[in-house]
Amino acid sequence: MSNVKWVLGVLILILFSVRCKKDQSESCNQPVETYSLELPTEPFDYSLSVPDHIQGDPLFALLLDNQPSDNIQDNDVTTLGRVLFYDTRLSTTNDVACASCHFQENAFSFPSEFSEGIDGFVTDRSSMALVNLRWNRRFFWDLRENRLEDQVLVPIQHPGEMGSDLASLVDELAEIDDYSSLFDAAFGTAEVNEERIAKSLSQFLRALYSFDSRYDQGVENDFSDYSEEELAGKNLFFSGVARCNNCHTPQLFSSSSAMNNGLEIESIDLGQYLATGEETDIGEFKVPTLRNIAVTAPYMHDGRFQTLEEVVQFYNTDIQPHQNLNDRITEETMMGGTPVQLGLSEEDVSNLVAFLHTLNDDEFLTSEKFSNPFN
Ligand code: HEC
Ligand code: HEC
């Protein structure tokens, strides 16, 4: 470093510390968590709103709505769930919330391969987007959980993710005035308990509907505002050539079963096998939704691909043989068969990517009702 730069650096440091001593502004102190909540007087409306083209789709009608009869959507319960989702006090070190690994602008995924829990713990899989979970049968990359009400308690108690003990957490939340009013509004009494925490968090997750992308508008208006590239990409996506829709099935652009898509010959992460112990489940993972996919990089369970171009190129030329390679991407349409070569041109690849971008739902990614209520 040159002398001039060094002297300048010292000067700036001195100036900064003098300014700090003078006005004692907050930014000079260690950050103190204040947990100031900002909620609308009337709760936001989180009730189910599914547009006609989705509701009317026979494929959608086949999906299971996983809302249980003892946890019916209610705006006050969902509001409580939103607050809990963003509250770092759910972790034992008070610095990790669900939202620390699930960012709204990334469709509630995390913009890096792995995410960080408490005390520097790093997850061994990529954080997942949280989109339209109300119609998912099973959760996590290996599909090991069946009910959202059970799933939401897993990260809270995970020793590395949030590290909390549920009984102590219940006691801690019961001491906080904001929560007394929120639990009261949601459940009729201020009592905090595990079941109420689980119910409200899962209601918030169920309320994360995303059906307002340019694709959805296109279904309604015959894709009149699609560019030529986007139209060509859409046609490819749904063609027997690219095969994408065989597994990323509309309207959720996902599947309810786990599959192997040929990322590697020998699975490093055994996937669904870890949950079931079945040989035929080795290397099989949840087929993730492609809604909002342009903002959820990096891609795959281990975040190995940084861009959508890389992903499409992988399907085009690089699918690996695997004992459980899904029959939809084999030459013989046989599990574990020879990987297909899609034979897409460079233009096809970029058209497909252009189409994938139309699955973004900007309202979902920015809506205040899903945003951080603490300021
Ligand atoms: C330290 C980071 C981290 C924290 C904190 C965290 N998650 Fe996650 N979340 C992940 C990762 C990583 C996965 C994928 C894990 C796997 O498949 O093994 C995941 C998966 C999920 C899934 C499954 C989605 C699907 O499509 O199957 C849900 C739901 C979820 N998280 C909700 C939550 C909630 C609710 C909280 C807070 C109570 C939370 N997460 C806290 C990192 C985190
Ligand atoms: C045989 C079923 C199948 C087909 C066909 C298929 N996929 Fe996938 N896709 C999967 C599975 C399974 C995963 C998750 C794999 C993993 O992480 O181990 C995945 C993951 C992805 C991801 C990463 C998602 C994320 O959240 O990380 C993208 C993007 C994607 N696929 C796009 C496509 C496109 C585009 C096509 C068509 C060219 C396609 N897929 C065809 C099964 C399939």
The verdict on 221 and 193 lying in the same domain is no
Shared domain for 240 and 331, answered yes or no, is yes
- Work out the percent of the chain whose per-residue pLDDT is above 90: 89
**Cα angle for residues 42, 44, 57 (degrees, 5° grid):** 145
Encoded tokens for 301: 């369970």
* Residue 111: inside a domain: yes
Region of poorest pLDDT, from 29-33, 104-108, 177-181: 29-33
Cβ–Cβ under 8 Å, residues 340 and 330: yes
Specify whether 93 is located in the same domain as 234.
no
Q: 221 and 104, same structural domain?
A: no
Q: Which ligand is nearest to the CA of 237?
A: 2
In a domain, 42, yes or no: no
CA distance 48 to 74: 10
- The residue whose CB lies within 8 Å of the most ligand 2 atoms, and thus the one to mutate among 114, 244, 249, is 244
The structural domain count of the chain equals 3
In a domain, 195, yes or no: yes
In this prediction, residue 33 carries a pLDDT of 62
**Does residue 150 lie within any of the structural domains?**
yes
Same domain for 167 and 194?
yes
- Dihedral class, residue 73 (left if φ above 0, else alpha if ψ from -120 to 50, else beta): beta
219 and 323 within one domain:
yes
| Same domain flag for 102 and 68 | yes
User: Which of 185, 209, 233 marks a domain boundary?
Assistant: 209
Type of residue found at 190: A
| Span 80-99, average pLDDT | 98
- Residue 87: domain span: 58-209
What pLDDT does 7 receive? 41
pLDDT band at 21 (very low <50, low <70, confident <90, very high): very low
Tokens of 208: 């994360």
Question: In this structure, is residue 12 part of a structural domain?
Answer: yes
Domain C-terminal end among 154, 177, 209: 209
Is there a single domain that holds both residue 236 and residue 323? yes
Measured CA to CA in angstroms, residue 144 lies from 73, 85, 317 at distances of 24, 21, 31
With respect to residue 227, please indicate whether it lies within any of the assigned structural domains: yes
Radius of gyration of the chain measured on its C-alpha atoms: 23
14 has pLDDT over 90: no
CATH number, domain of 177, equals 1.10.760.10
Considering only residues 168 and 25, tell me which one the structure prediction assigns the higher pLDDT: 168
Assess whether 303 and 341 both reside in one domain.
yes
Model pLDDT for residues 25-80, shown as the tens digit of each residue: 434 444 456 789 999 999 999 999 899 999 999 999 999 999 999 999 999 999 99
Averaged pLDDT score across all residues of the chain: 92
20 or 352, higher pLDDT: 352
Say if 344 falls within a structural domain.
yes
Q: For a pLDDT cut of 70, what percent of the chain falls above it?
A: 91
Q: Ligand 1 centre and the CA of 127: distance in Å?
A: 6
Residues 315 and 234 in one domain: yes
pLDDT digits (tens, 9 = 90+) for 114-127: 999 999 999 999 99
- Average confidence (pLDDT) over 99-103: 98
Same domain, 108 and 203: yes
What is the CB < 6 Å shell around ligand 2? 129, 242-244, 246-248, 259, 261, 263, 285, 287-288, 290, 293, 296, 299-301, 308, 311-312, 315, 326, 328-329, 352
Is residue 369 included in any domain, yes or no?
Answer: no
Residue 10 pLDDT > 50? no
119 shares a domain with 66: yes
- Cα-to-centroid distance, 178 and ligand 2 (Å): 42
pTM: 0.92
